[in-house]
């Protein structure tokens, strides 16, 4: 417990120092027509996850080699994302570096051990899903507190599963992620946030979550585990489908996510939206916990729940679009 307190204090001090450096260096997110915020805000506060991993190694890792694939991969995506925060890079460069990072952890999981058509198809689909979700996670980080609460729910859920259901990871590592998330949340979950995650934070978090969820799946072989990605996968995935149908560039910034419609068009307070998404993710996590605890691995159950959530989501989005149209017609 004392180690956790020391780590929290160190991370808090490092975050304060970063905020001062960011102000001096002008690492600021200035609002534009696509932004949900209206005042310039420091970005890159999510860089705190990099020293968090180093602190875990210092305090808890008996065998550092076991954690090198994760740490090297997170460093790769975090560094390239931090560069992108300061000086935007091309999509090709970012995706290439993401592929390299995923290759490192897929090798750790043994995904390259088997050679067959089926294993090749599985590997391609895994790359596509992982890259897609990573970019979804980045796009979903658009309003105060939403990714802080999502990360807190997901890392907390993973910690609970690891502690009380099936051990698939070092619980101390998951707790360090929770501590880093709480430190960032102190500066972000407020009406006027001190900082945003930036790509460095959202990509580092998204990549880590994918790593832990896939690792949990490898251990349990239970598809229900992917519901730990539920809320962001739901809003991000269906928004990608919508944009494809509208023949829009899915890599270009936009305001079509449901949470963006709530915040930008209906003017619902950011923290209320973020809390709503948090509650839904907690419910998904509780369902995963229950299913794993009872060793129920029916893929149809996971698919059925996702289908039900999808219908609810699409209904809410349709209702929201209708409200926005009425508001626009009234104002015009």
At a CB cut-off of 8 Å and minimum separation 6, what does 150 contact? Answer: 140, 231, 232, 277, 278, 281
Of residues 65 and 263, the one with the higher pLDDT is 263
Dump the DSSP string for 226-264.
Answer: GGGGHHHHHHHHHHHHHHHHTT--TTS--S-SHHHIIII
Query: In this predicted structure, what is the pLDDT of residue 302?
Result: 80
Going by C-alpha positions, the residue among 206, 191, 211 that lies closest to residue 274 is: 191
Model confidence at 35, in pLDDT bands (50, 70, 90)?
A: low
For residue 177, tell me if it sits in a domain: yes
**Number of structural domains, the chain?**
1
Of residues 240 and 251, the one with the higher pLDDT is 240
CA distance 223 to 200: 29
Query: In this predicted structure, what is the pLDDT of residue 1?
Result: 81
Most confident of 113-117, 140-144, 311-315: 311-315
Average pLDDT over residues 221-239: 93
In tens, the pLDDT along 144-176 reads 999 999 999 999 999 999 999 999 999 999 999
Query: In this predicted structure, what is the pLDDT of residue 295?
Result: 81
Going by C-alpha positions, the residue among 288, 32, 62, 72 that lies closest to residue 160 is: 288
Average pLDDT over residues 134-148: 91
In tens, the pLDDT along 79-112 reads 999 999 888 888 899 999 999 999 999 999 999 8
Query: In this predicted structure, what is the pLDDT of residue 207?
Result: 97
Average pLDDT over residues 213-219: 95
For residue 27, tell me if it sits in a domain: yes
For residue 36, what is the DSSP state? S
In tens, the pLDDT along 41-53 reads 888 999 999 999 9
Model confidence at 116, in pLDDT bands (50, 70, 90)?
A: confident
Model confidence at 32, in pLDDT bands (50, 70, 90)?
A: low
What is the CA 97 to chain-centroid distance, rounded? Answer: 18
CA distance 278 to 57: 30
For residue 323, tell me if it sits in a domain: yes
Model confidence at 31, in pLDDT bands (50, 70, 90)?
A: low
CA distance 319 to 315: 6
The CA-based angle 70-71-75, given to 5 degrees, is 115
For residue 188, tell me if it sits in a domain: no
- In the chain, the percentage of residues whose pLDDT exceeds 90 is 66
For residue 33, what is the DSSP state? T
Going by C-alpha positions, the residue among 229, 192, 208 that lies closest to residue 53 is: 208
As a whole number of Å, the end-to-end CA separation of the chain is 59
Range of the domain at 322: 2-31+38-183+193-331
For residue 74, tell me if it sits in a domain: yes
CA distance 15 to 21: 10
Query: In this predicted structure, what is the pLDDT of residue 33?
Result: 55
What is the CA 101 to chain-centroid distance, rounded? Answer: 16
Quick check: 253 pLDDT over 80? Answer: no
Query: In this predicted structure, what is the pLDDT of residue 14?
Result: 97
The CA-based angle 64-67-82, given to 5 degrees, is 115
Query: In this predicted structure, what is the pLDDT of residue 36?
Result: 60
For residue 219, tell me if it sits in a domain: yes
Going by C-alpha positions, the residue among 102, 157, 148, 101 that lies closest to residue 290 is: 157
Local structure of 93: helix, strand or coil = helix
């Amino acid at each position: 417990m004392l180690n956790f307190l020391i780590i929290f204090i160190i991370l808090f001090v490092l975050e304060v120092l970063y905020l001062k450096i960011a102000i001096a260096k002008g690492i600021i997110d200035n609002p534009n027509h696509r932004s949900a915020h209206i005042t310039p805000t420091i970005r890159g506060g999510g860089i705190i996850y990099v020293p968090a991993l180093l602190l875990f190694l210092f305090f808890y890792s008996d065998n550092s080699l076991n954690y090198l694939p994760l740490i090297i991969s997170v460093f790769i995506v975090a560094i390239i994302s931090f560069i992108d925060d300061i000086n935007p890079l091309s999509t090709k460069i970012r995706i290439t570096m993401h592929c390299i990072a995923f290759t490192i952890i897929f090798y750790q999981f043994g995904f390259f051990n088997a050679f067959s058509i089926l294993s090749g198809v599985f590997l391609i689909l895994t790359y596509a899903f992982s890259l897609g979700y990573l970019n979804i996670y980045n796009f979903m980080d658009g309003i105060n507190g939403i990714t802080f609460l999502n990360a807190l729910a997901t890392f907390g859920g993973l910690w609970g599963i690891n502690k009380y259901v099936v051990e698939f990871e070092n619980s101390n590592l998951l707790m360090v992620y929770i501590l880093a998330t709480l430190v960032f949340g102190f500066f972000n979950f407020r009406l006027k946030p001190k900082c945003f995650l930036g790509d460095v934070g959202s990509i580092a978090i998204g990549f880590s979550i994918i790593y832990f969820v896939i690792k949990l799946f490898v251990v349990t072989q239970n598809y229900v585990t992917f519901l730990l990605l539920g809320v962001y996968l739901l809003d991000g995935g269906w928004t990608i489908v919508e944009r494809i149908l509208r023949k829009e560039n899915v890599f270009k910034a936009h305001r079509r996510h449901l949470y963006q419609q709530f915040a930008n068009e209906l003017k619902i307070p950011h923290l209320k939206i973020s809390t709503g998404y948090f509650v839904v993710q907690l419910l998904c996590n509780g369902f995963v916990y229950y299913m794993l605890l009872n060793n129920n691995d029916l893929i149809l159950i996971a698919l059925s729940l996702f289908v039900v959530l999808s219908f609810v989501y699409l209904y809410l989005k349709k209702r929201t679009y209708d409200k926005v149209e009425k508001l626009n017609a009234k104002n015009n």
